[in-house]
Amino acid sequence: MGNELKCIARFGRQKSEGKALLETSEILFRGKFRLKIPFAAMKSVKAVDGELRIEFIESKASFVLGEQAEKWAHKILHPKSRVEKLGIKPGQKVSVIGTLEPSFRSELREVTNATTNGKAVPDADCIFLCAESLKELSQCAKIAKSLEGAAALWIVYPKGRKDITENDVIGTGRKAGLKDVKVVGFSPKHTALKFVIPIANR
């Protein structure tokens, strides 16, 4: 998802030790006070002498990160695209099962023209299953059988719902003989979990 570091943060007149977490679209801090700064709200981002300084709509904040300050500033100013975070490479064969937002399909078309919708092709490099319910999630077992080698199955599921949770997704994937290896914030409303065939079984 991101990076997590212990640091000292300053916000207005407040100063606190705590943990800073760099997410895909925001920076969080938890200490004596809490901060959540979306990238979209940032007006200025600089790394100065090991300190990450951020000006945003409401105020200013700084985080003493040492040598990581410049790296965090670069990641904030030059965020990866969604397809980059998902590891999709040009020319790969991608299958999409279920209803994913149109913008994602457009992003896929910019990277690869080998995209199939509605079914998993046997030689797909990457398969996306959009599971809005446990019934849709149950397709995982069948899809797992079509995976070959290092091919990946990404299960995209809604955030904050009790009828389909992260535990449901992980449990279903593992029951199908797969291993969960990565999680990505797919969108404000969805999370994506990556599953692969364990190396010993390929």
* Cα separation, 101 vs 117, whole angstroms: 13
Same domain, 116 and 97: yes
Residue 142 has pLDDT above 90, yes or no: yes
Tally Cβ neighbours within 10 Å of residue 55: 16
Sign for the CA dihedral angle at 95, 75, 193, 103 comes to: negative
* Cα separation, 158 vs 135, whole angstroms: 14
Tally Cβ neighbours within 10 Å of residue 65: 23
Average pLDDT over residues 128-136: 95
Query: Band of the pLDDT at 1, cuts 50, 70, 90?
Result: very low
Residue 167 has pLDDT above 50, yes or no: yes
Same domain, 72 and 125: no
Domain boundary among 23, 54, 77: 77
Cβ atoms of residues 122 and 146 within 8 Å? yes
Model confidence pLDDT, tens digit, residues 87-115: 999 888 999 998 888 888 888 888 887 77
Same domain, 30 and 10: yes
Same domain, 122 and 30: no
User: Residue 9's pLDDT is what?
Assistant: 97
Query: Band of the pLDDT at 138, cuts 50, 70, 90?
Result: very high
Same domain, 16 and 114: no
- What is the percent of the chain with per-residue pLDDT over 90, rounded to a whole number? 67
Average pLDDT over residues 55-64: 92
Same domain, 155 and 65: no
